[in-house]
Amino acid sequence: MKKTIIITGGAGFIGSHVVRLFVNKYPEYQIVNLDALTYAGNLENLTDVANCPNYTFVKADITDYEAISAVFSQYKPDGVIHLAAESHVDRSITDPFAFIRTNVMGTCNLLHVAKELWKGQMEGKRFYHISTDEVYGALEKDGTFFVETTKYDPHSPYSASKSSSDHFVRAYHDTYGMPVVISNCSNNYGSHHFPEKLIPLAINNIKHNRPIPIYGKGENIRDWLFVDDHARAIDVIFHTGKDGDTYNIGGNNEWTNIDLIRLLCSIMDRKLGRAEGESAKLITYVTDRAGHDLRYAIDSSKLQRELGWKPSLQFEEGLEKTVDWYLANEAWVDRITSGAYQQYYEKQYTNR
Ligand code: NAD
Ligand code: TYD
């Protein structure tokens, strides 16, 4: 069936994988990638689909109600998959208001514009909000997991802003009958991950023989999911998730930061032809992150049971693939560190 879907944040890490999947898998859909191209947006993530006839890029900021309204009037989407966000916890500690603007106000703008467009004809429409497990707060090392009914208990400005946006999405469902669905996912890893996040940062630092900063004692635990598995879950939930429902997505793959980094160091030693143990000498313990959540772990059994999704890769295999991608795409990282990636839009999309 023909559909127009606006994917927000499609130039970012997860968004670019979702755009690629939808453009390739659904040639009958028109996919509109709506992204403001902040520091985290990189259109070079999507060069392989940029010329596909069912793909359009629109530069717009979700905090700008008028601009979003104009885009929705022009494209009249049947569906929205909303990934655009400020996503880095450390940045939220230094600049919480950027997170409030984009994650809270931006989400509310999208909800309201979609509600106005779909007023009186919600049938067949869907607003899918992509969220995080961080809204649930922190777990002890006690073997419990986040389930969909776990009480929200955010600690960082990032997770507080994502929690707030989740509440607004549910409020638009309950108040206006908006056809919404939400998913809360654990930490993603894979290709095109901006090199300020733990795994790509460590890969880049190891390659250049620079210190690998480990916050605190490295005992914090995260549940890592390969980004393509997240994109597949988004596809399944967008098409078959129940209206008004929430689905947790996770890798069932818990690692302390220090064990993860030791595994990464040993993969890098092998790939770079270094003696075993060489890269691990770069591990450097630094001051802990303020309010650092101890453990995240997702129970994704509802998604597996009801919609038939499951993660496809073992972590060692996914991490090795990720390292291979970064080593084969050094120019991608170099263009981010030099800032050159930010000129791509002007060169490709405007005649300047
Ligand atoms: P990212 O930071 O890599 O990308 C965010 C994208 O949103 C960028 O392309 C950026 O240009 C765009 N954007 C930011 N502000 C915007 C604005 N005001 N208007 C329009 N576009 C804007 O983020 P990511 O890691 O790909 O995360 C995507 C979504 O998934 C986020 O909503 C995040 O909360 C959620 N999530 C991420 C993870 C993870 O591990 N990365 C895990 C669970 C959920
Ligand atoms: P990050 O990739 O920022 O994701 P999140 O904070 O959303 O979980 O961090 C993953 C874990 O790694 C988190 O426990 C913080 C830690 N960390 C470090 O120890 N050193 C670093 O340089 C970074 C960026 C993160």
Based on the number of CB atoms within 10 Å of its own CB, is 292 exposed (0-12), middle (13-18) or buried (19 or more)?
middle
Of 133, 148, 228, 254, the active-site residue reads: 133
Mean pLDDT confidence for 296-318: 97
220 lines ligand 2 (CB under 6 A): yes
Of 44, 78, 134, 223, the active-site residue reads: 134
**Nearest-ligand number for the alpha carbon of 215:** 2
| Separation of CA 222 and ligand 1 centre (Å) | 18
Kindly give the pairing relationship between strand 212-215 and strand 283-286: parallel
pLDDT at 132: 98
Q: What is the pLDDT of residues 66-113, one digit of tens each?
A: 999 999 999 999 999 999 999 999 999 999 999 999 999 999 999 999
Query: Relative to the CA of 15, which ligand 1 atom is closest?
Result: 26
**Start-end of H helices in 95-226:** 96-99, 107-118, 157-176, 198-207
pLDDT at 76: 98
Of 158, 172, 296, 345, the active-site residue reads: 158
Name the CATH superfamily housing domain 3-193+224-254+295-314+342-349: NAD(P)-binding Rossmann-like Domain (3.40.50.720)
Q: What is the pLDDT of residues 4-59, one digit of tens each?
A: 999 999 999 999 999 999 999 999 999 999 999 999 999 999 999 999 999 999 99
pLDDT at 350: 77
| Separation of CA 115 and ligand 1 centre (Å) | 22
Residue 351 reports pLDDT greater than 70: no
Pocket test for ligand 2, best of 136, 198, 220 (most atoms within 8 A of CB): 198
pLDDT at 21: 98
33 lines ligand 2 (CB under 6 A): no
Task: Break the chain into its structural domains and give their ranges.
Answer: 3-193+224-254+295-314+342-349
Pick the more confident residue, 193 or 351.
193
Q: What is the pLDDT of residues 152-211, one digit of tens each?
A: 999 999 999 999 999 999 999 999 999 999 999 999 999 999 999 999 999 999 999 999
Residue 298 reports pLDDT greater than 70: yes
Residue 129 reports pLDDT greater than 90: yes
Based on the number of CB atoms within 10 Å of its own CB, is 119 exposed (0-12), middle (13-18) or buried (19 or more)?
exposed
Which 8-state DSSP code applies to residue 30? E
